[in-house]
Structure formats: C-alpha cells, structure tokens
Amino acid sequence: MKPFTYQRAGELREALAGAAGTPSAKFISGGTNLLDLMKLEIERPAHLVDINHLPFSGIEETAEGGLRIGAQVRNSTLAADPRIRSDYPVLAQALLAGASAQIRNKASTGGNLLQRTRCYYFYDRNMPCNKRKPGSGCAALHGFNRMHAVLGSSEACIAVHPSDMAVAMTVLDASVETIDTERVTRQIPIGDLHRLPGTTPDIETPLKLGEMITAVILPPVQPGRHIYRKVRDRASYAFALVSVAAIVDVAGETITGARFALGGVAAKPWRTPEAEAILLGEKVSTEVFQRAAEIALANAIGRGGNDFKIPLAKRTIQHALAVASQRG
C-alpha cells in the first residue's frame, strides 16, 4: 500500500476543499472496495477524504413523491427502510442479494455505485489491463472470461460492473445527485453514470475530479410487480453471472407497463428500451417475453468463457417477466 494522508471531513466544505487540494485524492466512505484496491496498489491515492460523517445519511420524501436517498445511507439501512420495502421492493431485493451482511452494514449508497469491476486481471498488477493501465491490453479478452461482459464491451475491455443495487436503481429510473469542488450540483440519470469502455475503459463515469455523489433520487412509485432475480454460482456472497430487475404491470391479461434491467452482462446496468416497448399492450404470453429477451440480447457478443451468459440472460429475463406478470 502506498503511504497516504487521511482527513476526516466534518462538513461538506472541508471534504470538497480536501479533494480539490490533492490531484490524486479519493473520497472514502464504507471502504469495502477502495481499501482492497489500495492494498493491491490498484488504487494509489495520495490523500483520503473520509466522508462518512457528512450529513448524507437520511432517506427523505421528495416534492415529486419519490425518495431522496443520502449517499451515506448504508446498504443494510436502505434495504430495511419500510418505504423501500413496500414501494421499491426490487431495490430491497437487489440490495439483499449483494455481498454479505457485514459488507452491507458498511457499504454506502454512493460507494456502491462507484465500486470497480471484479475482473481478475484488473486485480492483478502483473497482468495487462487497459482499465488499470491504459494501453497495456486486455488479458481477459482471450483469457478466463467467464464473468465478463456480453453487451456493450469493446476489444479494449470486457469488464462488468458488479453492483446489484445499481441494476435495481436503473430499472427504477433513478438519478444521481452530485456536487463538485466549485459547489455546483447536478443530477445525472443513472443510465449515464457508468460509461461503456470503448477505447477508454479507464474512464468509468462522467464525474469530474473531486465531484461527490450526495444522493440518489428515486422517482415516484411505479405501478407493477417488482422482482430482482440474481443468478449466481453459489447461494450467497457471489457476484451475479446474470441478474434481472423487472417491473411489470398488467390489467386483466394485458401488459400496461414493463421495464427490465440486466446486471452482470455489461460495464453498466443494461436497459433495452426497444425490448420493453414491444411488451406494452401485449397479452401476457411466453412468446412475447421470449421476443423481448431476444431483442435485449440481440447485440450480445460472447468471448468464449462467457458465451453461456447469452442464453442464460434470455432465460432469466423470461423467467423474471413471467414472475413479475403473475397476479393473485
């Protein structure tokens, strides 16, 4: 681990000043990912600004009828919140499907969104990795890539984003509120928070240096049944091979609302508006779910070890949509 200085920020002003003062400063919240990466010297910040004590730990109702989740709300707190459990169950399910109880107790909402990929080659400094060392190549592309992306990847990087929570927030059309070192705030639709790798997989978000996530805004409750289905190699404490967050509303036999997001398949939670669109107004049927699944995976590219994710994702989408459209 590279030596670093540490600052506990009591106020937002201090935190932003601390981040502005050192080019390689990092905010640290739960530290469940950053500390591991620092020990391996994959992250090498010269200065850490501890933002755990900033006043972003509340969950408040918004004027629009949604919820504003402070960036420092712990994953376990968020999953247990009665409003999340009753109105946004897909988010509660996704949170509880992630990590372990101990990690969820520590991990924050903002930190969860900014956790980095679990690509084995990213984690090993002896290996080529364009995300860790731009221009060095991608060892996963022709290597062991069972966990890797089938959608939105490039020859430069096939890593996936590991968050479950972000997949649920994506299907909920959440947005991310930030503040930068000039104290300018903005809202970023969650679909724009994570970038696809292209030729610059080292640039993972549009966040500027020193820009901090302060909250996640959930829009008002959407009608429909929620489900988060995570497929993994063991029953707990494993990253998703494929996950599906789905919300389906039906009236009689007709689908009146349908949306789904995929996890474990790309560098970001994956939505396919065309696939969702074809469901609207259709009668509930195996065939229409199958069509939606085919559309969602139409551009999928397997890299060998992860080829199975394509049929697996289709089957899981169909399963999730079928369950989410059940009533009674």
Partner 1 sequence: MSNSTPMANTGKTWIGQPVDRVDGALKVTGQAVYAYEHRADDPVAYGYILGAGIARGRISAIDTAQAEAMPGVLRVMTHKNAPAQPAFGPAVTPAVREVFTRPRPVLSTDRVRYYDEPVALVVAETFEAARGAAGLIAIEYEDERGAYDLSRHLADAYAPQRTNAGFQTDSLVGDFEAAFADSDVKVDTIYTTPYEHHNPMEPHATLAAWSGDEVTIYTSAQTLANFQAGIANTLQIPPDEVHLVSRFIGGGFGSKLIVHADTILAALAARELQRPVKIALTRQQMFANAGHRAKMIQSVRLSADRDGKLTGIAHDVCSATSRFEEFCEQTAVFARSLYAAPNRITRHRLVGLDTNRGEWMRSPGEAPGMLAFECAMDELADQIGNDPIELRIRNEPEVDPERNVPFSTRNLVACMQEGARRFGWEQRQAKPGTVREGRKLIGLGMAAAIRPNYLGASAARIGIDGNGRVKVELDMTDIGTGTYTILAQIAATSLGLPLSAIDVQLGDSHFPRTAGSGGSWGAASAGSAVHNACEALKQKIAKVAQEVRGSPFFGLNLDGTEFRNGEIRIGDRSENLANLIKRVAPQGLDARGAVEAAGENYRNYSQHAYGAHFVEIEVDMDTAEIRIRRMLSVIGAGRILNPKTARSQIIGGMVWGIGAALMEESVLDPRYGHFVNHDLAEYHVPVNADVPDLDVVFLEEPDSNANVFGSKGIGELGVCGAGAAVANAIFNATGVRVREFPITLDKVLPGLPIQISRANRS
Q: Which residues bind partner 1 (CB under 8 A)?
A: 1-3, 39-41, 118, 120-121, 123-127, 139, 142-144, 146-147, 231-239, 241-242, 253, 284-286, 288-290, 308, 311-312, 315-316, 318-319, 321-323, 325-328
Phi-psi region of 241 (alpha: psi -120 to 50; beta: other; left: phi over 0): alpha
Q: Which is nearer to partner 1, 63 or 235 (CB)?
A: 235
Q: Smallest gap, in angstroms, from Cβ of residue 284 to partner 1?
A: 5
What whole-number distance in Å separates Cα of residue 194 and Cα of residue 161? 9
Q: Smallest gap, in angstroms, from Cβ of residue 96 to partner 1?
A: 12
Q: Residue 247 in 3-state DSSP?
A: strand
What whole-number distance in Å separates Cα of residue 279 and Cα of residue 44? 47
What whole-number distance in Å separates Cα of residue 171 and Cα of residue 173? 5
Main-chain dihedrals φ then ψ at residue 239, nearest 5 degrees: -75, 155
Q: Which is nearer to partner 1, 1 or 184 (CB)?
A: 1
Q: Smallest gap, in angstroms, from Cβ of residue 186 to partner 1?
A: 33
Q: Which is nearer to partner 1, 86 or 100 (CB)?
A: 100
Distance from the first to the final alpha carbon of the chain: 55
What whole-number distance in Å separates Cα of residue 159 and Cα of residue 198? 11
**How many CA atoms, within 13 angstroms, populate the side-chain half-sphere of residue 273?**
2
Q: Which is nearer to partner 1, 86 or 236 (CB)?
A: 236
Name 230's bridge partners. 243
What are the structure tokens assigned to 155, written together? Answer: 């020859």
Q: Which is nearer to partner 1, 217 or 284 (CB)?
A: 284
Q: Smallest gap, in angstroms, from Cβ of residue 69 to partner 1?
A: 26
Contact 138, 130 (CB under 8 A): yes
Name 7's bridge partners. 49
What whole-number distance in Å separates Cα of residue 16 and Cα of residue 99? 30
Name 261's bridge partners. 245, 271
Q: Smallest gap, in angstroms, from Cβ of residue 224 to partner 1?
A: 15
Which secondary structure element, helix H or strand E, spans residue 69, and what is its range?
A: strand 67-70
Q: Which is nearer to partner 1, 191 or 311 (CB)?
A: 311
Q: Which is nearer to partner 1, 60 or 233 (CB)?
A: 233
Give the angle 58-35-185 at the CA atoms, nearest 5°.
40
Q: Smallest gap, in angstroms, from Cβ of residue 101 to partner 1?
A: 11
Q: Smallest gap, in angstroms, from Cβ of residue 42 to partner 1?
A: 11
What are the structure tokens assigned to 286, written together? Answer: 């195996």
Contact 293, 314 (CB under 8 A): yes
Q: Smallest gap, in angstroms, from Cβ of residue 237 to partner 1?
A: 5
Q: Which is nearer to partner 1, 217 or 248 (CB)?
A: 248
Q: Smallest gap, in angstroms, from Cβ of residue 187 to partner 1?
A: 33
Q: Which is nearer to partner 1, 15 or 79 (CB)?
A: 79
If you ran DSSP here, which 8-state letter would residue 198 be given?
T
